[in-house]
Structures are given as C-alpha cells and as structure tokens.
Structure 1
Amino acid sequence: MSSKSSHTESGGPAVEGDAAAQLPGQQRIGPAPSLRPKPVALRPAPATGSQESEKEIRKRLMQGIPKARRWVIRNRIELTLPPEFSQPPSTNEKALATTHAPEIGGFDGVPRESSGGGFECAPSSEHAVGFEAAEAGSMTVALPSPLTILGAGRVDPFGNYPIRMSYDEKRILDQVNTNTWPIFKTFKNSWLPTAMQDPATFHQFLANVSLNLYHIQGQTRSRTVSAQHYAIALRTVNIALSDPARNTADGIIASIVTFVCYCVTQNDLPGYDVHIEGLEKIIRLRGGLQTLDHSPTLRCMVFGVDLSGACRRDSKPTFPPPDRLIKVVQSIFRGNLKLTPNHVPTRSPRPWANAISQDCLLTNAFDDLLKAINYTRIKAARGEDWLEVRFVVFWIDPIVHNLLGQGPETQPTDGLSVVLETTRVGLILFLFKLRRVGGQLGVSTTFFIAKLRRLASTMAWKILWDTSERLLLWVLFVGMLESQGTEDEDWFAETTAMAAHWMGMKSWDATLAGVKEFPWIDGLFEDECERSEEKFKGIMDSLEQDVLSPWPEISVFGHR
C-alpha cells in the first residue's frame, strides 16, 4: 500500500472519521477539502435601517473572515447619502422646493420667507461669513436643493479654494459666474484667478463682489457680508505685513489692490489714500513696477484701481500706465491690419479743430479716441466682441490717465479756458461710459457731472458760439445722457435742447445727427437716448411755441 493512501495531505495519519482518508480504488465522496473560509452571500439590506445598524451588521459579518483574506479594493471612493435621502420627501418639502426653485439664482445669504410663514436659510461652515441657522430663532431650516443654478459646475474639481467655502461664499461666486452686469465679467475673468492664489485676497475679492451686489440690488445683507470679509482680509494682511519674508510678495500686493478697489467703490477717499500710499511703498521696497512684469494681470490691476480712485476727484494718478503692454497689444492689432502706429481713421474736417487747435493734450486725446473707435468698428465688422475690460485697459484708460488732473486749479472765466476745460470734462464723461460698459470697476461720473454744470453756467459761453458751438453741444449732449438719474438730469435736458435750438437744430433727429459728427459709437448710448428723447422733444416743442430770442436763452445758463 502506498504511504499516500494512509496519510492526509498534511502528512498526518488517516484516522476514522477523517473525510480525507479513503481506501485504494474507493470513490471520493463530497467536495475536495479546503481551508479557505466559505464565502458569505451578502444581500443588499433594505434602506429602512439606520447607518449605525448597517455598520454593526457589516462588523459581525466580517468577524469570521481572516483579515489577510478579506477583499480589499484599494483607492476606493465611497459616496454615502444622508438618511434623509432614503425617505420620500414630505408634501411640505416638495411644495417648498417648488416654490423657491426660481429664486435660487439671486444672491441673498439671508433667510427667505416660506409659504408656511416660516423662513429657510442655508447652513454655514465653521469658516462661513453668513447667516447662521441658530440666529433665526424658531425658523424652519430646509436643506438646499441639490440642483443649483450651475449644477455640478458650481464646484471646480481641479482647483482648491484658498478658504473653506460656506453656502454664502458659493452664492457670491454664483453671481460672479452668472450675473450679466459687465463688472461681474471682469470679476470672473480678471480678478478671480488672482484671488484664488491667496486667502486674504480671496476674502477681499468676496467683499468687493458683495459690495457691488449691494449697490446694484440694494440688499442690506450683501453689505454686511462685504464688511465681514473686509475685516477678515485686513486682519490677515496685517499679520503678513509683519513677516519680512512675505511683506512684499505678489499676494500682499494683490490684497492691497483689492482694498483700494473696495475704498473706491465706497467712495472712501481717505481710505483710498492710505491703501494707495501703502501700495506705493511696498512696490518701491520690492524694486519698482518692473518687478510686476511677470504678472501682466496684476500690473493692470494696479493701474486700474489707481486710475479709478483718481477719477473720483480729478487728480493725477500715482502709477503710470503699463506702456510696454499697451504698445504690444496695440502693435499686434495694427500688425494684423497692416496699419501704421499713427494711423487715424479719415474724418475731415475735424469739427473740433478750430476750437482746441492750441491744445495738444486735447487734440491727441481726440486722435487716440478715434483710434479706439476704429478698433471697435473693425472688431464689430468681424463679428468679434470688443466690449470687455481688456479693451478699456489698453485703449481707453491711457487716454483717461493723460486727461486727469490737467484742469485749472480755479474756475475758468475767460472764453478759451472755458472751452478747453469743458471739452476735457466732456471727453472724460464719454470715456467713462466706455469704462463702465466695458466692466472697469469703481466708475462714477458724479464729480464730473457737477463740474460740467458749473462750467456750463458761466456767461462766457455766449461769446463762443461762432467757433465752438457744435463742440460744446456734443459735450452738453453727453452730459445730458450721463446725468440721468441725478438731480441735474432736468437741467441738462433743458440746457441741451436750448443750445440745439439756438444753433438751428429744431428736432431730436437733427440734434443727434450734429452730435454724431464728433466721436460716437452707435449703440453705446442707445438706452440713454431712448429715455431722453421724449423729454428733449417736449422742451424743443415749448421753445418753438414761445419763439424765444437767442440771448435770453443763453443768459438762462447763468441763473439756473
């Protein structure tokens, strides 16, 4: 007999009752022996149990399996739904979701009144700058709908935010991504990529967005959230400024730039002075503006916020334009069209030439503006979008930079000085319109509208009609359109209509045709023209009926 027949596979003797022991030639009965544990058939449990009970069941099932033989799926990602999702929603929850679905696009961060008389608000993280559920008292707190206005696109799976994002912060970014106002396009394309690189800059970015939402929508909550983010950003920057290794870094400069923008939007000129002085000092310590050449976006942001602050009071900006970048951008455009650097679209004769021929600053500004208008026409003819902040930075803001702070220190009284200063102010107002629709931040015409009214009220106008009347009409017309919504709106409408009537333009169409002989972009003032046309026609009809003499009309300018 072979030894293999009397021993088991492990080498031990065969004993009675051993299933592995068998006689020669005897047929094996039953399955082959194995030390592997029998597989456990796992069936999906019903969804009615709690998470704790499911964990206990798994634990008991796995106790009989050696750890070395347990199935392990490495790098597995497991998604777990909250218990609420396993239960069908109640009727009230369905109604609540249906009622508030259209409103999810608006930025609030505040509780909304529900159909049941209560309120709903969004949960906040521990780092949230938002409305806490506990503050609502007896409010009904509902989970936000999984379907947001951006769907899965609300979260960038390949990028990390520099702060922990709460519900309020996500709603602010929703506005950045979806709001149709031009400034939000600038926030999204130019400011957000820079803000993502530094926590303080990101907090102040959120503060600036919230502040602009307050000015547009008038929601008090937006202003409160803005102030909270501003305080966090300011505290963070102050800590970084005490560190010699970080106090001149790009992140610090970007943060202070956002502070400057905040003060400009708030019209806080003392705060603007403090931040712009600190920004100038930091840039000087790191070696000058040329140290920002590696980041064209940051360099243009410094230029833009400085210019916006100077525009609030007609002062000279602190920083020069990024001339090298401007020349590169404009030369590329001219190179594609094979234009010379001094190319100006043909417009002869220039109707403003006689009135301002002695002022090189203004003649150069008009020529540069014509180049910019030519750029818009070529882009429009190609079906390309030109209305963006890039156009403003490289074509419009350099002209504004040259015009700011160039007026007389006192109110001009002689004829030529009045014409030159009025023309400068009119040019600035026209350029401000382009800055605003192009998405530049912190644009306000309040200061220059008041200044233009003071200039238009001087008696020196009546001796200038022969040589500069059409130029001054263009300035008044722009002032009329830009003064809408202010207390000066009616004054500008009446003054512009009276000036046009004196020059023989007895209708709206004739006046608009005369204005378009000067720099003009079709469609730029379309909405303002529609709102002003009816009022202008009414004033013109009254003038025709009264048949006023010209000199009393002019003298009215000094008594209104």
Structure 2
Amino acid sequence: MVSQQKTPDQGRWAFVTTSPTTRCPTAAQRTLMRKHIMKDIGYSRRACHYSSRSSSVSGAGGIPGQTDGAPEVIKPTAIPRAFPSTATALVTVNDDARCVLHYVFSDALPSYIRVYREKWYPVCVQDNAAFHQMLACCATHLYRWQPEKHHRLKRVAISEHAQALTIAREHLRGVTHLVSEDYLVVILMFACYAHMLNDLATFKMHMAAIRNIVSFRTSDISEEFMRLYQSIDSIGSYAFGITPSSLIPTTMTLPTLTHSTLGKPLSVLISSLDLKYRLTMLQAYQSLQNLDHYLALVHVNPGSSLLDEPYKLDLLVEPVSRCFLSLRIPTDMPAKDSAPLTYLCAGGLLYLAELRRRSGISPVMTTFHVDKLKQSLESMAHYLNIDPSIHLWVLTVGALESTSLDDQYYFCSQIKQLRTNEGIETMKQYEEHLHWVVWFDPLYQTRLSALFPMT
C-alpha cells in the first residue's frame, strides 16, 4: 500500500504491496498510485513507439512525398521538456511537441526538413508563441512529406497552432507600445503556416501586418529578420503569383564569381524582348547560370554538395528567385510582347522549383507558373521561331513540375515531337541540349531519367 510516513519524497513515490495487511488505501492514495503506475506505462509505451518509428522513417533525399532506398534509423535525440527563453521563463513543450522536435534535430531525415533546426529554431526559441507556431509548421511539413507515416502530426499541428494563437492574443492585450521583433517573428510563422495550408487571404493579412509595423520602425529591425521576411515574401509570391514586396530591399547576393556568358540563342531571344524588361531578364538568367556554376564547383569536392545544406542553399537560391519574381508583366501588354517574357520567366521559376524544395520550402506550389507557361506556349507558337535547345529546356522543366496528368501529357507530347524533329534519340543527346541553357545533373538526373521514357 502507499507509505504513510512523512518523508521528503512524499507526493512523488508510491510503494505498493500485493497483499495488504491493513485497511484499503484511501481515495487520495489510490489516485497517487494510479498516477504513478500510468506514468510508468506511458514511459514504456513511448519508448516502444520511438523504437518502432525509427525503422519506418525513410531517408529520402529527393522529391518530397517519395521515398527511395532502405529506411534509415533515427538516432535517439535528447529533447528537454523546457527551453530557456528571453521572453518568458521557459518555453514548455508537451510529449507531442517533443516528438516533433525529435525530427527537427534528427540527422536521419532529408536535409530539406532539417532546415528548421538552422533557420527557424534559433529565432523562434526566443518567444513562446513563435516556438509553438514553428512546431505547427514543422509538423505540417512532416505530414505533407509522408502523410501515411505521420498522420498523427496533423493533430499536433492544429494543437500547436492553437497554442500559438492563444499566447499571441494574450501578448497583444498587454501591449502599450510598439511590438517587439520577437512578436514579428510570430506573425512571420503564422504566414508560413498559411502558405502551407494554401490560404492566400490569411497569408496576405499577416504579411501586410508586418509591413505596416516595419514601416514605422525600420531603424531598429535586425538584418536577420529582414532576410527572413524577404524569404517568406518570396515564398508567397512564388506560390500565389502575387507581386513581391519592395518595402525591404534585398539583403542577399550570390558569392563573387566570374560571370558566365549566356549562349547566343538565349541572348538573341532575350534581346528581342521589350526594352523595359530586357536588362532584368538578362540579369535573371545570368544569376541562374552563376548559381548553377557555383553549385557545380562546390559539388566537385566529395561530401561538400550544397544540396544537403538547406540553410546555405536558401541563401543562394533566394536572390535568384527574386530576380524572376520581380518580373511582373502587365495584363494589358500585347500578346506578341508578353508571351516571350512569360515563357522565359516561367521557365526560370520552374527550374528553380526543385532547388527551392531542397532549401527547405514546403510545399513548392508550381501550378501558377505551369499555367502561365502553357499560355505563353500557345501564343508563341504562331509567330516566334525558338531555338530547339531553349524550347526543349522550357518544355522539360514544365513537364517535371506538372502535377496533373493532363499537364504532363501536354508537355511530354510536345517534347516527343521536338525530339523527333531534332533527331534526339539518346539520353546523352537530350542532356546536351539542356546544358546549352542551364542544367545541374546531380539535382535533376533521377527525375529526368524517369521523364525520358515518357517522351
């Protein structure tokens, strides 16, 4: 039975015998016994759960939602129940949240999921609401990656999001001055969550709130927050087809490189564009080729590929993405002028889609750009003779990023016709044409191999 002695440990431990010789335990004692027993059962079950889960998680490093190779075992990671915070005494987490953090800090998952550890954890741990919202975003990311294995995390995401909202509302009630930068991070995480749920209205609302706050206090906003804001702004611009914000100037640039020279067919096509957009498009494709050359240069050294370092890759891909996203074509522009612009812009953005996934963005929504590319192809077919290598490259990135069977058939049928016209019979010949524009084999080799038989 429960010990009746007054000891320092009373209230924490319950000692039970199987054949009591005195009266039955009181209701309070039975409650204490039950809690103690259920606690041990819970620990035991969670230990089994983590053990079984480690054998079911795949270490896929390719396309989100797909797995390849043998499953990798997740190494146990010690996750504390509370984290130091400058905003409150502790950021407390429950067992479900600790499960999500287990994945955040695990090295067995694909690199693009581990971006939370390097990009978001350092800034979100400073605030309770931001931390809970980061967990909601990560749980949603995991669920989208492998819904059949992480279905319970959908419930965790909703719970963590609700906690973040509750804390944020309480925080606003007591605000008598300008909100802190930590709270701006909370709003930024809400925008991330809205993007994951494909909620354009909520995304725009949160981003507009940040712009309004920042416009009054640009002098005391850190460069790190500006970079994070710009990154999320680009994510929304890419996914929803909205104009990126010009409130915060770009703070990211590519490493200093010897600029490559665009191939003559691509230079000729860009030179035929409207003078107002010609230089911007030239800079966009120049940046795309510089990024490709830099990735290839680093990839030469064994074990140094940036494809497995999402945070660093994000710093490189972001400024290139914004070059293309800044090219907004007026809806009233004549088709003969707008079609080539849309054709080249959509092609560049679709090529960047896989790089954006590897940099930790989830989901990368390409439907808007695929539709734009299809519209431009239908317009350009009547009056512009395009170089076969450029056309094959644009059709290929369109096919790779199509999410519907109809769109895949649309692009594959045109690729098949172009291959017949140009006598492209082998995979090597196919790749040679792609390299005339820009093509990074380590990133696209597997997906191109799957696409080739379909064309």
Classify the TM-score, shorter chain: 0.7 to 0.9
Residue 309 of structure 1 corresponds to: 236
1:257 deviates by 0.4
Give 1:231 deviation, angstroms: 2.0
Q: Distance in 1 between matches of 2:151 and 2:424?
A: 47
Find the aligned partners of 1:304 and 1:313 in 2 and give their Cα distance: 14
Once structures 1 and 2 are overlaid, which stretch shifts more, 419-428 or 388-397? 388-397
Shift of 1:252: 0.7
Could you list the runs of 5+ residues in structure 2 that have no partner in the other structure? 11-34, 58-72
TM-score by length of 1: 0.64
More displaced 10-residue stretch of structure 1: 149-158 or 220-229: 149-158
Is 1:229 aligned to 2:157, yes or no? no
Does the Cα contact within 8 Å between 1:300 and 1:393 map onto a contact in 2?
Answer: no
Task: Point out which structure has higher relative CO (alpha carbons under 8 A, 6+ apart).
Answer: 2
TM-score by length of structure 2 reads: 0.77
User: Which of the residues 17, 33, 51 maps onto 1:101?
Assistant: 51
- 2:432 aligned residue: 513
Equivalence for 2:410: 491
Match of 1:326 in 2: 252
Counterparts of 1:314 and 1:152, CA distance in 2: 40
Question: Using the alignment, how far apart are the partners of 2:159 and 2:83 within structure 1?
Answer: 28
User: What pairs up with 1:275-294 in 2 under 5 angstroms?
Assistant: 275-285=206-216, 287-288=217-218, 290-293=219-222
- Note the residue ranges of structure 1 that are not aligned, 5 or more in a row: 1-49, 60-81, 108-147, 537-560
2:449 matched to 1:535? no
Change (3 A) 1:250 1:506: same
Task: Tell which structure's C-alpha radius of gyration is larger.
Answer: 1
- In structure 2, the partner of 1:139 is none
Kept after mapping to 2: 8 A contact 1:261/1:441: no
* Match of residue 241 from structure 1: 172
2:79 to 149, 154, 170: 154
Q: Distance in 1 between matches of 2:183 and 2:438?
A: 41
Contact in 1 for aligned 2:234/2:244 (Cα 8 Å): yes
2:388 matched to 1:474?
no
Matches of residues 364-513 of structure 1 in structure 2 within 5 Å? 364-383=283-302, 384-387=304-307, 388-404=309-325, 406-410=327-331, 414-458=335-379, 460-465=380-385, 467-483=386-402, 487-513=406-432
> Quick one: structure 1 residues 230 and 506, their matched pair in 2 at CA, closer, same or farther if it must change by over 3 Å?
same
**2-side partners of 1:58 and 1:349: how far apart?**
78
Secondary structure class of the residue paired with 1:423: helix
| 1:318–1:223 distance in 2 versus 1, CA, 3 Å | same
d(CA) in 2 for partners of 1:57 and 1:484? 64
Q: Is the 8 A contact 1:256 1:279 kept in 2?
A: yes
What CA distance in whole angstroms lies between the structure 2 residues aligned with 1:454 and 1:385? 36
SS of 2:114 mapped into structure 1 = helix
The verdict on how the C-alpha distance between 1:96 and 1:413 changes in structure 2, with shifts beyond 3 A counting, is closer
Paired AA for residue 372 in structure 1: L
Distance 1:96 1:490 in 2: 47
Give the superposed CA RMSD: 3.5
Shift of 1:201: 0.4
> What is residue 126 of structure 2 aligned with on the other side?
197
Query: Which range moves more in the overlay, 182-191 or 199-208?
Result: 182-191
Distance in 2, Cα, partners of 1:389 & 1:511: 29
Q: 1:283 to 1:475 in 2, by over 3 A?
A: same
Once the 2 structures are TM-superposed, how far is the Cα of residue 305 of structure 1 from its aligned partner? 0.9
**CA distance in 1 between partners of 2:77 and 2:37 (Å):** 21
Identity %: 20
Aligned residues: 401
- Aligned partner of 2:93 in structure 1 is 165
Residue 253 of structure 1: aligned partner: 184
**Structure 2: distance between partners of 1:97 and 1:185:** 23
Shift of 1:224: 2.6
Q: Closer, same or farther in 2 for the Cα pair 1:247/1:215, shift >3 Å? A: farther
CA contact (8 A) 1:422 1:472 kept: no
